Structure 1
Amino acid sequence: MGVWARQTRACSKRRPGLSKCDGYFFTAGLVAATFLVLLGFSLLHLPEPLALKPATTAPEVTLLIWTHPFGRKRPLPDCLARYGVDGCVLTDDARAYPHADGVLVHHRDVASGSAELPPEVGRPPWQKWIWLNYESPSHTPALWRLEGRFNLTMSYRADSDIFLPYGYLVQKHGNGQPLSEPSRTSRPGLVAWVVSNWVDSQARVAFYFQLSQYIQVDVFGRAGRSIPEGLGSVVRLVKHYNFYLALENSQHTDYITEKLWNAVLAGAVPVVLGPARKNYERFLPPEAFIHVDDFSSVEALARYLLLLRQDPARLMGHLRWRTGFGLRQPAFWEEHYCTACRALRKTIGRTHVVHDLTGWFES
């Protein structure tokens, strides 16, 4: 949890436009005045790309999708045709359990009681259970029930057995969407925030109230205004703004969701609240975002955003890095299934048990 987030629990708990929060909670030094030139930045912690490759000699494997995430059944992809992953058979037919090489279990469904774990009776000794979860630890209950049951983990964490984040940078001509060139013209809107899950106790709500005392923040989603007709998506909306509040609902290692990547894709500078700055720098150049912990106060952050809007050349310091990069945002959930199946195929004959799922994921 960041410096600012740890100190905002007592802030006002009301909805947009109804209240203010008193005091300043930032204690980190102001470090955003000077930016690093993009020299030597390497793309760290990237998952292995899904791409067409020659067929291997490894035998075909069957991956059983035990639970469709959140109970929403979707057609299963053809991994070879869609992602170039050969030797994988996906099925959601529970009758395949006795001979499946792997079983993919979505945490939320078994934790909520909407689905049961696969039966231990009749489980083949070679079968691997894969724990799938894309929620933060704050929203991942009942981990203790699953200790010693799984063989592989799959999540947004870079130290997962199977790592696939919400988004990641690639070379511009790689397997991703090229990022637009930065514009030297200021956009009409200053700061936007799209939020649907408004929880008064969250640090991001306290931060919003603080920031809105000093600058205009346009709030959209179920907790604010509807996204205007004709714009069609969050990304299209954010293209009209210089800055976007990419505020996570909780602060944990590597928990960096589509909120950040929507801002990057839209060409806005993300203002982030989540894990520490160093964690973000594993996925982005240091000048590509503004971290709330960089400032001594919310007022100082607000002044800096206004300064950037009035100084396009300085604003370009946050955007120039985009040249040469593309963005990959894995499709939920078909790409996850094929990635898991590829990992299963690569680990044939090797099995370990995840003994401390709780300690690892909550670390």
Structure 2
Amino acid sequence: MGAGERRTSLSHREKCCVLRRTCSSVCVATVGFVSILGVSLLWLPEPRIVDPLVSKVNSPVTILIWTQPFGHYSSLPDCSELYQIDQCTLTDDARAYLHADAVIVHHREVATGKADLPPEPRPRAQKWIWMNFESPTHTHRLRYFEGVFNLTMTYRTDSDIFVPYGYLFRNKGVQNHFVHPLRVPTRSRLHRPRLVVWVVSNWSESHARVAFYYSLSRYIRVDVFGRAGRPVPKDSTVVRLVERYQFYLALENSQHTDYITEKLWNAVQAGAIPVVLGPSRQNYERFLPPEAFIHVDDFPTVRGLARYLMMLRRNPARLRRHLNWRGSYSMHQASFWAEHYCTACNAVMRNRGRTDVVQHLTGWFES
């Protein structure tokens, strides 16, 4: 979905974006968080700035959740209480379709035939939002939805509604339940009891990450938990488990632009140094400082990576270089799916006049 062919009036909005790049109040990706938290969002690329074309900001909207993702029912959030996004009504009652301002459609259900698309013709000016947080490798039948949706909501930075799996914030003395402060380990806590851990639920011999694991385990011990290894202790969580390890293998199931999931952010929260396999180093550096992670592509061989990890274990000064950045930042992990629904609600408030459609969904998402 090329930038020049997605929207009929895009050239006008691009000019507006250039003129208003410092105006974060209309930035979809930071809606509800920069203003709520009062902190500076860092390391995220600047998303598209969307003009409030019609109506005034914060006019009431109703969002219909067409299907609950993956068939798992959960109560809908109160956006005002959670994120101070007022005049937003969320419902999963299909009877609200005719007066809903927007409909959020989760890709998996309509792609697999477990649910149909909303009926046509859609009510005047109603927006259909395509929501998907799986990688292109695991997103099927996209070609059936060309020209159907008005807005995209994904982890990709160039989505209309951008909700990444995690954020970093520069510390500004503000602490609340949205952010998790990151600590630099003290000298006594710099070295952790165990070396490398990998928690994996989806094991497939065809995955590049499985081949990488086999290669790495030839040189150093890797403790594996999940369906393919030992179970995570019942009295623990993934983060608490990882807190015992120096390094965590944050290996994505496929490698695509911006596809950086909770695996990375679990490691960051736990204070382990993530060893990442996913998009390029340059892509990761749009979300994190360069020293905050070790990319498998940094080394010509897996053996070289293993040697580097062992060297860090023996060299406290070098090890600390991968951890000192933490003292200046806090992190936030997206809350599935409450945060997505409320962010979408805010975006719809600011985009009432947009009626054009996404013409090249497949080409864009798979690019």
TM normalised by structure 2 equals 0.83
What is the distance in 2 between the residues matched to 1:282 and 1:57?
29
Q: How does 1:49-88 map to 2 (within 5 A)?
A: 49-50=32-33, 51-52=35-36, 58-88=58-88
Distance 1:282 1:276, change over 3 A: same
Residues 32-60 of structure 1: CA distance to partner in whole angstroms, max 9, x if unpaired?
Answer: xxxxxxxxxxxxx963343559xx75420
Distance 1:52 1:302, change over 3 A: closer
Distance 1:57 1:109, change over 3 A: closer
What is the distance in 1 between the residues matched to 2:308 and 2:316?
13
Corresponding residue of 2:278: 274
What is the distance in 2 between the residues matched to 1:249 and 1:183?
34
Is the 1:106–1:132 Cα contact (8 Å) retained in structure 2? yes
* 1:142 pairs with 2:141: yes
Which of 251, 255, 259 is matched with 1:251 structurally?
Answer: 255
Q: Which runs of 5+ in 1 are unaligned?
A: 1-44
Corresponding residue of 1:178: 181
Corresponding residue of 2:93: 93
Q: How does 1:193-208 map to 2 (within 5 A)?
A: 193-208=198-213
SS in 2 for 1:154: strand
What is the distance in 2 between the residues matched to 1:255 and 1:47?
18
Deviation of 1:218 (Å): 0.3
SS in 2 for 1:115: coil
Deviation of 1:229 (Å): 4.4
SS in 2 for 1:350: coil
SS in 2 for 1:117: coil
What is the distance in 1 between the residues matched to 2:243 and 2:57?
47
Deviation of 1:73 (Å): 1.3
Is the 1:107–1:131 Cα contact (8 Å) retained in structure 2? yes
Q: Which runs of 5+ in 2 are unaligned?
A: 1-27, 38-55
- The alignment covers a number of residue pairs equal to 316
What is the distance in 1 between the residues matched to 2:91 and 2:148?
21
Q: Percent identity?
A: 64
Corresponding residue of 2:157: 158
Is the 1:179–1:325 Cα contact (8 Å) retained in structure 2? yes
Distance 1:57 1:337, change over 3 A: closer
Corresponding residue of 1:108: 108
Deviation of 1:69 (Å): 0.3
Deviation of 1:189 (Å): 0.5
Is the 2:31–2:346 Cα contact (8 Å) retained in structure 1? no
SS in 1 for 2:205: coil
Corresponding residue of 1:35: none
Q: How does 1:1-363 map to 2 (within 5 A)?
A: 47-50=30-33, 51-52=35-36, 58-121=58-121, 123-172=122-171, 173-174=173-174, 175-184=178-187, 185-230=190-235, 232-363=236-367
Residues 232-284 of structure 1: CA distance to partner in whole angstroms, max 9, x if unpaired?
Answer: 11100111000000000000000000000000000000000000000000000
Corresponding residue of 2:50: none
Is the 1:52–1:85 Cα contact (8 Å) retained in structure 2? no
What is the distance in 2 between the residues matched to 1:267 and 1:62?
40
Which residue identity is paired with 1:131?
W
What is the distance in 2 between the residues matched to 1:229 and 1:129?
41
What is the distance in 1 between the residues matched to 2:204 and 2:36?
43
Deviation of 1:312 (Å): 1.2
What is the distance in 2 between the residues matched to 1:276 and 1:164?
20
What is the distance in 2 between the residues matched to 1:271 and 1:113?
37
What is the distance in 1 between the residues matched to 2:335 and 2:158?
21
SS in 1 for 2:312: helix
TM normalised by structure 1 equals 0.84
Deviation of 1:296 (Å): 1.1
Distance 1:113 1:265, change over 3 A: same
Corresponding residue of 2:8: none
Is the 1:46–1:168 Cα contact (8 Å) retained in structure 2? no
Compute the RMSD of aligned alpha carbons: 1.6
